[in-house]
Amino acid sequence: MSDQPTPVAETPPQVPMFSDMCSAWHRVAENWDRFNRVVTTDAKIAQTPKEQVWALNKAKLYRFIPTVPETERKRIPLLMVFAIMNRPHVLDLRPGHSFAEYMLQRGYDLYLLDWGAPGPEDKNLTFDDYTLEYLPRIVRKLKHVSGCSEFSMLGWCLGALISTMYAALRPDDGLKNLILLTAPLDFSDKSAGGFTRWSSHSAFNADTIVQKLGNVPGEMIDTGAKMLKPVENFFGSYMMLWDNIEKPGAVDAWHAMNTWVRDIIPMAGGAYQQLINDFYKENRLMEGTMALRGETVDLHKLRANLLNVIAEADHITPPCQSEGIMNVVGSEDKEVLRVRGGHIGIMAGRGAEKNTWPHIEGWLAARSD
């Protein structure tokens, strides 16, 4: 055996702040893993319990399960109608931040229309069908299920356009209250908003698009909307997530919204042609020349109580496209609510449950008994 002593390992020199640097690297790695999981997975949305009570083709009508005793519910039911090229889940994003949940807690008998995703066989569906075929059947079913001959309707985006035309064409169907959210109705100003400038241009031919594609792919519509604010939509949204990646509440909110945004569906070709040609290019609704199945849509015949909610920073539906209807409709009880925010944010953003929702609910509550 050697008489030499066993060498003792030297203690590595202590590098100032090295442990802090390692902690920071680990933290960045954890944040990146969380960021990657959030942007590549779907959150659980539309969780408020509901039951299907009607269906026609791809469309379904749901009734949310009441959460308050029958004696405490509002007498008049509320039907929510969203756009035809998006899922309606934005009205029920996540527990604790859901307009549907909010209204249920305040005693409304609440119904949701999901138009569904059109297939190739639905390429000829038009606003005529949505307004005069689907909605009347839905209303009849709603009245039967609720047991009430009157109802309120909330329409958002193109759902507001359809709701407006229905209210004018069927003023005696029992519609008492009409709430319009970011309603694209008046296209007289051809310079207002990117969509209007693009689609009203003579070079933009919707007929050719539909002839070649049939239904208009959701990806095409989604990209067009994002190109209105490309930096914000393609980069800013993800930068916002990264800046808040260590805030669980903010991450959950972003995840839910992104899940809804990614769930895109086509738009029926026939309806797309009408939207571009009859509305954006010719402004037929406000000109008084819009006809569905041979019936002229006369906005003077719209008599329901009207709340018109306008997003002041809306780049999809600029305020001027929603304002003009107030001077045309026959409603005696009518009000404009201007909200700071964008097309979706006024109902699904952080301030919605403190600003937009209470005003809508208060207005409706005073007219629902």
Q: Which domains does the chain have, with CATH numbers?
A: 48-86+100-217+266-365 (3.40.50.1820)
Neighbours of 323 (CB within 10 A): 16
Active site residue 148: no
Distance CA 275, CA 269 (A): 10
Phi/psi of residue 330, each to 5°? -90, 5
Alpha-helical runs (H) found in the chain: 18-40, 99-105, 127-129, 135-146, 158-169, 194-199, 206-213, 218-227, 230-231, 237-243, 248-262, 269-274, 284-287, 320-323, 345-348, 356-365
Digitized pLDDT (tens) for each residue of the chain, 369 residues in all: 556 666 655 555 666 687 788 888 888 899 899 999 999 999 999 999 999 999 999 999 999 999 999 999 999 999 999 999 999 999 999 999 999 999 999 999 999 999 999 999 999 999 999 999 999 999 999 999 999 999 999 999 999 999 999 999 999 999 999 999 999 999 999 988 888 898 888 899 999 999 999 999 999 988 888 888 888 888 889 999 999 999 999 999 999 999 999 999 999 999 999 999 999 999 999 999 999 999 999 999 999 999 999 999 999 999 999 999 999 999 999 999 999 999 999 999 989 999 999 999 999 999 998
The pTM is what? Answer: 0.91
Q: Check 89, 97, 255, 343 and give the catalytic one.
A: 343
Distance CA 94, CA 349 (A): 12
Q: How far is CA 182 from CA 3, 70, 159, 197, in A?
A: 90, 32, 10, 18
Distance CA 224, CA 130 (A): 24
CB 79 within 8 Å of CB 151: yes
Look at residue 226 in the predicted model and tell me its pLDDT.
83
Q: Check 157, 186, 255, 278 and give the catalytic one.
A: 157
Look at residue 14 in the predicted model and tell me its pLDDT.
63
Look at residue 3 in the predicted model and tell me its pLDDT.
63
CB 307 within 8 Å of CB 178: yes
**For 322, how many CA atoms within 13 A lie in the half-sphere containing its CB?**
31
Active site residue 243: no
Using a 10 angstrom Cβ sphere, with 0-12 exposed, 13-18 middle and 19 or more buried, the burial of residue 341 is: buried
Distance CA 224, CA 233 (A): 11
Active site residue 314: yes
CA angle 229, 276, 312 (to 5 degrees): 40
Look at residue 7 in the predicted model and tell me its pLDDT.
63
Look at residue 310 in the predicted model and tell me its pLDDT.
98
